[in-house]
Structures are given as structure tokens and as C-alpha cells.
Chains A and B, each alone.
Chain A
Amino acid sequence: MTEPLQLDRRSFLKLAAAGITALAGMRIIQRAQATGPTAEGLHQWAMVIDQSKCTGCGYCNMACKAHNDISPDISWTEVIDVGKVGEKMIFIARPCMQCAHAPCVDVCPVQASYYRPDGIVMMNYDRCIGCRYCQVACPYGARSFNWEQFTGPNPAVPEWGQPEVPRRPRGVVEKCSFCYQRIDRGLALGLTPGVDAVATPACVVACPVGARTFGDLNDAASDVSKLLSNSVSFCLREDLGTAPRIYYLPASSEVRS
């Protein structure tokens, strides 16, 4: 370092550093504001689960395991015993909440979790690096890591259905996808998800008591829209601002969210 140059260079470098930092900061803040739910598509899928009907039989979980070819170690839609109201046992089925402001999408370093225009929070299993940050970030415990490769026969097949999607490899995180494969295939065939069974998530179809309803929030005539406008509903951990697309109808009229 030669002496006469020192001051000039130093002040230049200072300026450059300040400029770069400011630019980077602006860019990050811009991105932060821009990242949210993507522009809404034609459909906005949602599910309503009626706790007053749910008997905790777990058929939904079994159908899910078969249709999505899930390892017996993993549940995409766990059914949790939450106690009693009067004499009646109350359960909560917990699929992925398909949040409109999903913490998992925010934190995924490689955009392996992303929003579909129809609101489904999707996993790109070919891109996931298995860092498990999404698992740490998800408030609902809806994500499972494939600690081992699922090999061998699926005990839920064929009794509960046939696999419709490939098995996930070892080392990636997986979760409920709202049976996007059934929705997409159904729409391609001109069917209506939520009305036609083959276009509707397997758990909804399998439920023996009709506790689950699926449909399009953009369609005011859909069953979910009607249920939500006519009854009291709640979402899990609404205080977190995640805006889930799974709505629950309380077990009894006295229970309010």
C-alpha cells in the first residue's frame, strides 16, 4: 500500500461498501414484501373438517397412506384425540394446513416448498435438499422427514386404495399435498373437485361420516363456501397469521374458536 493513495482508496472503498450494502438491503426488503401468497388462481382449494361428525376412526389417514403411498412411519393427516365434550370423544384430523402465508415456503432455501396458484403448498421432491428447516418452522408438525427409504409393500394397499404418486426418496421432507394428483386429473377430465369423488382428496372420499368437505373458495356455490358462510368455523393457531386453508367446525355449538 503506497501512502499517497491510501486516503482516496479508503474513502472510495467505504463508499462502495455502503452502496453495496444499501442495495442489497433494499433488494432483500423488496423481496420480503413481494413474497406472500402468489397471485390467486382460478381455484382456491380449501377443506372443512366437522369435529361434531368426526369419530376418530382414522379411515382418512389409511386412505391417504394408500393413495399417496406413504410409509407406515409417517402420517400426512394425523387424527388426534383432543378430549371429551360431554360424553362425546372429540378428535382433530390434522392434514397440512395449506397456509396462505406458509412459514415453510418462507424458509425453504431452494424453493422446494412453493405455492401453486390454486393455493396448494407443494413440495418439489426432486429439489428438496433435506435441510429440515421447514419442519422446524412449521407450527403444525405437518411435515415428516424420510429418515429411511420406504421399501417393501405398503400395508394400506390395496385395502385402502392404489398409489397415485411415486414414493419419496430417503432424505427429503414430505407432507400432505391436498391430493393434487386427483384434483389435476379430475379437472383435466372436466370433473369438479369436492363433488366428483375421483377428483377429490382421498381422505374426504374415505370419511364414512362425511366429516370432511372439500371445494373451491372462489366458487360461492361450493360446499366449503356454503359451510363457511353458514356456520362458525375456526382454524388452528390463527394467531400466527399463517392463514390456513383447513377450517374446522367445532364439536358443539358451545365451543367457539
Chain B
Amino acid sequence: MKNRWKSIAISPWIAWVGFLSIVILAGLIAGLFVIWKGLSVTNLTDLVPWGLWITVDLSAIAMSAGAFSLCAVVYLLGLKRYQPVARTATFIGLIGYTMALLSLLLDIGRPDRFWHALVYWNSHSLLWEVTMCVMLYLMVLLLESMPIFARFEWLQSRWPKLAKKMSRVHHYAPILAIIGLGLSMLHQSSLGAVYGVLKARPIWYRPDISVLFIISAVAAGMALTVFVSMLSARLTKRVQVDDALLERVSFFVGWILVGYLYFRFWDALSMTYTYDPGRTEGLNLLLSGPLAFNFWVGEMLLGILVPMVLLLNSRTRTNPFWRMAAMLLVVGGVVAYRWDTNLSGLLIVLSYLPGAPVVNYTHYVPSFIEVISAAGIVGYGTLALSLGVRYLRIVDHRDIDALEHPQKTATAALIPNGD
């Protein structure tokens, strides 16, 4: 990307923003078209009612999991030096959740009634619980991001008092971290359970799916945080990162992958025993059917095994290229997992007629409109992150105290580089 930017006369930043703006504009037009024409413009059917957008939604929430986990590391485990990394993750989380809300808004048949879940409670529904947690957690993320927005120079010069007040929200960070941890543990797992509680879909109907969802989310969330931090530091000199911190987080991601693989292994292995109508066929979709490439290459090889080795081996982990590659692979693997989870259940049509259960297959490929609008949502997230890096210094591992408490600048000591 860097090379291409250099060949363009206008500044790479403008080109990047321009490119993202075009993607967002296309997505916006596609989104408005969906709202206008309804969901008949998608390739979703009564058999496959959830598709690409639900994957965007689930992936965006998974990638936001760095926020709660790193905030817990900083404020609950007391590892304060990771605070700058947690700040990056918090902003990514804020953007991720808004992305999820955008894709849900497209996905529901009546976007004008999106607020119904907040008013008409069915506390027995996991989707209700997820909606409530997401809304509440979005507020937590907004509060947690206040000190980040307070760093906006324009705001500081225009409304210095407001900026000061916003940065003071920082004092509530430990409480917010606890609330965030509780809400995230609930809904990150519940997103798996949304699938896991459905007896009608045997491939999903198992308790471990919620555990797998939260573990993979923490891996993806931390991975994206490290990746964004490293990429920003490479693209602009304004961003200063403490590589030792990122290296430690990466090492941790490597170990999470070990745990994730462990659970995935037993989860998958147990499903291979005995024929269970619907479940066995769903598993076959993953192991040898149309989802097999996604599963073996996307999820297992590139999503778990390769990055696990790259991140646990200190030589590749300390190499910026391999570390960044590993992080990107983790993110891709988790997106593939969400896609595969959704489709392995929906592509199987289990007959309800008496006698031996008959299993049929259906298929789903997202429509052009679905792809463009999903790209628009991803473009929005990317643009928001880029603006955050540039104007809110969301990736900045320099003297944090001095930046967050300007009055103390004189006395604040510089954080030594590394540990």
C-alpha cells in the first residue's frame, strides 16, 4: 500500500481517505437501496435467513473484544503499563460495536423498530440479552473513550473545559472495566449461545459454542489491536509505539490460540462420533463440503496453527512482519469461524416428517448489494480507525500521564522504553 501511495501525486493520507470515502459512499447507497427495496434485494431466503451481514456483525463484535479484555488486564489485573494498548483496543471496540449496529440495522426487516428490544423485553431470548448488553456496553465504551476524544486538539482549543471534563472520566476506568468485563463476558458468549441453544439445528446445539465464541473473540480483539498499532506506527511517524508491550500482548495471543485450538479440537472430535441427523451433515460441510477450505485452511491452518507458531516462537514474534502477518491471520481465522458457524447450521435443511430424518442441503452466496453494503460498513470502520490514529492519537505509547493530565506534565516522568 505504501508504494502505491508514493506513486500518487496527492498525499497518501488524502488518497486513503478518498478511497475509503468512495467505499463508504457505495455502501451507503447500497444500504439505502436495501432500506428502500427491502430484504428481497438480498440472497437471503426463508431457509438461510442470516448471511453475510450477520457475519459482519459477529466479526465486528469479536474484534471489539480487545477492549474489555485489555481493560480488564490494565485495571483489574493491575498491569498498568498496558494502558496505552488498552486505549487503542477501546477505540477499536467503540468502532466495532457501531459497525455491528449498522449491519444489524440493515439485517432486520423493520429497521424502524430497532428500539423494540429495549422496550419489549423477552429476557429469555439470547438475542434480547445480546441487544441489551451491546447497547449498555456501547455506553461503557463511549464513556471509556471520553478521554480519547478529549485528546482531539480542535476540541481542546475550542472547549478546553469540556475536554478536561471528558478526560476526567478516566478516573472511573476501573469501574467501567468491571462493568465492561461483565457485559462482554455475557454477550460475547451469548452470541455463540444464540446458535447454541437451538435444538432444531443439531450442528449448533451444544454448550461449548459460547465458550469458543468468547475465546476466539479475545484472540481476534487483541490481534486487531496489535495489528492496527503496528501498522499505524509503520505508516506515520506521528505514532510512537512501545514494541515491547505489543510483543507481550502478541505472546499472550499465541497462548490464547493454544487454548482456543484445544477447545476446538475436543469440540469437533466429539461431534465426529455416532451419526446424528443434521449434525453429522453440518460437520461434513465443514470437514469435506463446500465450507472445507474455509475450515481447514482459513480457520485451522492460517487462522490458528500458523499464527500460533509465529507468535509462540520468539524469533518470528519479534520480527514485525511475521508478527503483523500472524495478527492478520488470527483476525481472518475468526471471521472465517463466524461465517462457517452460521452457514454450517443454515445450509442443512433437516426434515421434520415422520420416519428416518431426511437431510437436504441448500446454498447461499451473498448478493452484490449485500457485499457492497457490507464493504461500506467495513470501510466506515477503517476510516474511523484511521481518523482516530491521526487526530485522536489512539495509538500512542508515549508518556500517557503527561497527555491525559496536562497539568502534571511538568512532574511526569517519561515511561522508559521497553520493560
Contacts and interface: CB of A to CB of B under 8 A. Distances in A.
Interface in B7-46: 38-40, 44, 46
Interface string A186-207: 0000000000000000000000
B122 interface: yes
B352 A132 contact: no
Which has the most chain A C-beta neighbours within 10 Å: B38, B122, B131, B353? Answer: B122
Contacts of A110: 113, 116-117, 120, 122, 128
Interface string A117-147: 0000000000111111101111111011111
B49 interface: yes
Contact of B127 (A27, A28, A131, A145): A131
A152 B117 CA distance: 32
A140 B76 CA distance: 47
Contact of B125 (A16, A106, A144): A106
B25 to A, nearest CB: 25
A148 B38 contact: yes
Nearest to A173: B109
Contact of A13 (B175, B199, B350): B175
A129 B182 contact: no
A171 B121 contact: no
A31 interface: yes
A165 interface: no
Nearest to B204: A136
A109 B122 contact: yes
A107 B199 CA distance: 12
Contacts of B116: 109-110, 112, 127, 129
A106 B193 CA distance: 13
B26 to A, nearest CB: 23
B50 interface: yes
Interface string B116-145: 110011111111110100000000000000
A39 interface: no
B200 A171 contact: no
B120 A133 contact: no
B414 to A, nearest CB: 20
Contacts of A131: 107-109, 127
Contacts of A170: 38, 109
Contacts of B126: 107
A138 B121 contact: no
A111 B120 contact: yes
Contact of A129 (B46, B113, B346): B113
Contacts of B253: none
B19 to A, nearest CB: 33
A20 interface: yes
B38 A149 contact: yes
A136 B109 contact: no
Contacts of A169: 110
Contacts of B121: 111
B354 to A, nearest CB: 6
A241 B125 contact: no
A103 interface: yes
Contacts of B346: 136
A172 interface: yes
A142 B50 CA distance: 17
Given A108-B125, A136-B346, A137-B198, A145 B38 contact: no
Nearest to A237: B352
Contact of A139 (B50, B197, B200): B200
A129 B199 contact: no
A220 interface: no
B182 A21 contact: yes
A135 B54 CA distance: 15
A171 B182 contact: no
Given A127-B113, A147-B40, A171-B39, A257 B354 contact: yes
Interface in B280-300: none
B391 interface: no
B108 to A, nearest CB: 5
Contacts of A80: 353
Contacts of A111: 120-122
B392 interface: no
A209 interface: no
B120 A92 contact: no
B127 A109 contact: yes
B332 interface: no
Interface in A150-179: 169-173
B199 A241 contact: yes
Contacts of B46: 135, 141, 143-145
B159 interface: no
Contact of B114 (A9, A106, A129, A149): A129
B113 to A, nearest CB: 5
A42 interface: no
Nearest to B173: A1
30 contacts: A13-B174, A21-B182, A28-B123, A92-B353, A103-B198, A108-B125, A109-B125, A109-B127, A110-B117, A111-B120, A111-B122, A112-B120, A128-B109, A128-B113, A132-B109, A135-B49, A136-B49, A137-B198, A138-B200, A139-B200, A141-B46, A145-B39, A147-B39, A147-B44, A148-B38, A171-B39, A171-B110, A236-B353, A240-B199, A255-B354
The 4 closest A-B pairs by CB, nearest first: A130-B109, A171-B109, A139-B200, A109-B128
Interface of B: 38-40, 44, 46-47, 49-50, 76, 78, 107-110, 113-114, 116-117, 120-129, 131, 171, 174-175, 178, 181-182, 186, 194, 197-201, 345-346, 349-350, 352-354
Interface of A: 1, 9-10, 13, 16-17, 20-21, 24, 27-28, 31-32, 35, 80, 82, 92, 94, 103, 106-112, 127-133, 135-141, 143-149, 169-173, 234, 236-237, 240-241, 248, 255, 257
